[in-house]
Structures are given as structure tokens and as C-alpha cells.
A = this chain, B = another copy of it.
Amino acid sequence: MRRRFDEENCSVARALEALGDWWTLLIIREAFLGARRFADFESALSISKNVLTKRLRHLVEHDVLTTVDAGRFGSRLEYQLTPRGKDLMVLVTALRQWGDRWVFGPGQEPVLVCERGSGRPVGRLRVQAEDGRSLAARDLELRPGPGADETTLRRFEALGRVDRRR
């Protein structure tokens, strides 16, 4: 059985758990592109129906999508992004920009994220300090937060000893 991350005291793991699996982010990508109906997702992704059914249900359960009746009798559903789902735009953009940089390369981007008004591509996502300064990976460190549990704290302790070893 696939390992579940339901109980882990880690936002990364829990976010992954909510998203479900690889397909899911592509479904969300399609939702951002404008897909709303079952058939939209199906044709865009060439995904089999049973898997799509399961994924959509998973996303609805995790409040990333909601269903809205589009036909008068409920046989036409529309799937829409919830606020929680829309907030994944940053994540999808991060993924897209990484692929742009390292797979396709500058000037070869298949799709650009643009500002609606001007049509100009958005800037590169950066990790910034509160005051707006950009921070590189080497300027960052991870620390236990207010919600850290025993296990997490012990992990950080162990890291302090990490350089003892050869």
C-alpha cells in the first residue's frame, strides 16, 4: 500500500497528501487553464475515467475543488477551484518556472504565466525576507516552528550533531 502522510507533522508531507498524486497537479493546472467539466479534464489529460473520477473526488474531499450543478438536473457538473485551490497558483507557478528553467530553457517556454492587464510575463518567484530582500538558498535555514512536535524537535537536535560524523 502506498504510504500515507496524514499524520505527519510536516506541511510539505501534508500538502502532498492533500494533493494526492502526480495526476492531481495536472488536473489543477487544467483548472487554472479553464477546464471545468469532467470531459474537459478527460480530453486534456488523456486520463482514464476511473482514475479521473477518483482524483476529482479526492480534490473535492480535500476542498481544493467544489462541484456546482450546471445542468438543471444535476447531471452536468462543473468543478471549480475553491480559495484553497486558487491558492495553489503559487505552487503550480513554481513548478512551471522550474521546468521552464531546467527542462526547456529560456526562450523555449511552452506556456507563460502573464499579468492579465498588460499581458507581460510575471517575474521569477523568489523567496524574500519580510522586507522584500531576495534570499538565495544558502541564506535560508529551517527551524522548528510553534507547531513542532517531539519528533520534529528531535530531528533538529540530531542535525546539530550532524557534523560529528565522518
Contact check, A137 vs B86: say whether CB atoms are below 8 A apart. Answer: yes
With known contacts A33-B159, A110-B9, A127-B93, A14–B103 Cβ distance under 8 A: yes
Contact check, A88 vs B98: say whether CB atoms are below 8 A apart. Answer: yes
Contact check, B95 vs A12: say whether CB atoms are below 8 A apart. Answer: yes
Q: Restricting to A88-129, which residues have a CB under 8 Å from any CB of B?
A: 88-104, 107-123, 125-129
| Alpha-carbon distance A13/B3, docked complex (angstroms) | 22
Q: Write the nearest CB–CB distance from A100 to chain B, whole angstroms.
A: 5
Copies in the complex: 2
Measured between beta carbons, the chain B residues less than 8 angstroms from A118 are 129
Q: How large is the interface on A (under 10, 10 to 19, 20 to 34, 35 or more residues)?
A: 35 or more
> Which of B5, B95, B104, B115 contacts A140 (CB under 8 A)?
B115
Measured between beta carbons, the chain B residues less than 8 angstroms from A29 are 10, 12-13
A75 interface residue (CB < 8 Å to B): no
Q: Write the nearest CB–CB distance from A137 to chain B, whole angstroms.
A: 4
Sorted nearest first, the 6 A-B pairs with minimum C-beta distance are: A11-B99, A109-B145, A15-B99, A108-B147, A112-B145, A94-B94
A sample of 17 inter-chain contacts (CB < 8 A) reads: A10-B111, A12-B26, A12-B29, A15-B98, A16-B25, A34-B159, A44-B155, A84-B102, A89-B127, A94-B125, A104-B147, A108-B147, A110-B149, A114-B141, A120-B129, A122-B140, A123-B128
Interface residues of chain A, those whose CB is within 8 Å of chain B, are: 2-3, 5, 9-16, 18, 21-23, 25-26, 29, 32-34, 44, 47, 70-71, 76, 84, 86-104, 107-123, 125-130, 132, 135, 137-149, 152, 155, 159, 162, 166
